[in-house]
Amino acid sequence: MEIEKYIQAGKIAAKVLKFASSIAKENTPLLEIAESIEEKIVELGGKLAFPANICINHIAAHDTPLHDDKRVLCKEDLVKIDIGVHIDGYIADCAISLQVNTNKHSKLIQASENALDNVVKNLNPSTKLFEIGDIIEKEITSLGFCPIRNLSGHEIDCYNLHAGLTIPNYNNRNKSLLPKAFAIEPFATPGSGIVTEGKPSGIYMLLEAKPVRNVHAREILKFIVENYKTLPFAKRWLVKKFGLLRTNLALLALEKEKIVKQFPTLVERTKQPVSQKEHTFVIKENKVIVTTLSD
């Protein structure tokens, strides 16, 4: 049953990612894109496994619009759209790279796409993790780029987006076998191949539900536990329900007590553009199935 829920989530995610590609146009507000993606996930019968990530140029990961975000897509932007869907906690995680009214990033986008495509062609239940990293590294470097070494794919479990094993984007000599559900996400860049922490992202995650004195924090913690469990959530979702002041007070108290944590954005160290492609996979009846392939 759980495998079928992974597959169901993947079908929704594939449709939503295709929809996202159609609305990511020049001058479109990032907030409008993110909210449209999230609304489409719910419309198609899924739930949000994490906020829609929209990462521009040298920002590689963990960027979602704030409630009052004024950013828009600009000509020549390289944009990564990363979405997560779950059915009863069983997650599909997928991403695509797009360029806005330009062809200047075509080769860089091709590098991450080729890397993932070649992994898919060679994947089977006996594949070892280092073999995946080796394929990704060779494909990306063959086009003159670097894989990002400190970003990786990841094992997936129920209500746990990053569970246990990490799946490298380079040959790290790890001979572990594949888990039953996992995401692979090659990142390519002409830069250093290393990301560092940037500004706070507005993306949070529950660490531990425990008593807290602040009345606003108690109310909002109850909502987080009931609606998101251990999956990442956006500050703007709470602002929409509770208002900015109550949300700020609650999150400040919850962070202080180490009940929730906020993720930083992750940026390429030399400020060079980054491309990304991602699919989710499950092992079923001794076969590897890509859950997030579009029809």
Catalytic center residues: 82, 93, 154, 162, 185, 278
The dihedrals phi and psi of 120, each to the nearest 5 degrees, come to -55, -40
CA distance 212 to 218: 6
CA distance 131 to 133: 5
CA distance 222 to 215: 11
What is the Cβ-side half-sphere exposure of residue 40, based on CA atoms within 13 angstroms? 22
Annotate the chain with DSSP letters as a single string. -HHHHHHHHHHHHHHHHHHHHHH--TT-BHHHHHHHHHHHHHHTT-EEEEEEEEEETTEEE-----TT---B--TT-EEEEEEEEEETTEEEEEEEEEESS-STTHHHHHHHHHHHHHHHHH--TT-BHHHHHHHHHHHHHHTT-EE-TT--EEE-BTTBSS-S-EE-SS-----PBP-SEEEE--EEESS-S-EEEEEEEEEEEE------S-HHHHHHHHHHHHHTTTS-EEHHHHHHHH-HHHHHHHHHHHHHTTSEEEEEEEEETT----EE-BEEEEEETTEEEETT---
The Cβ of residue 17 has, within 10 Å, a number of other Cβ atoms equal to: 23
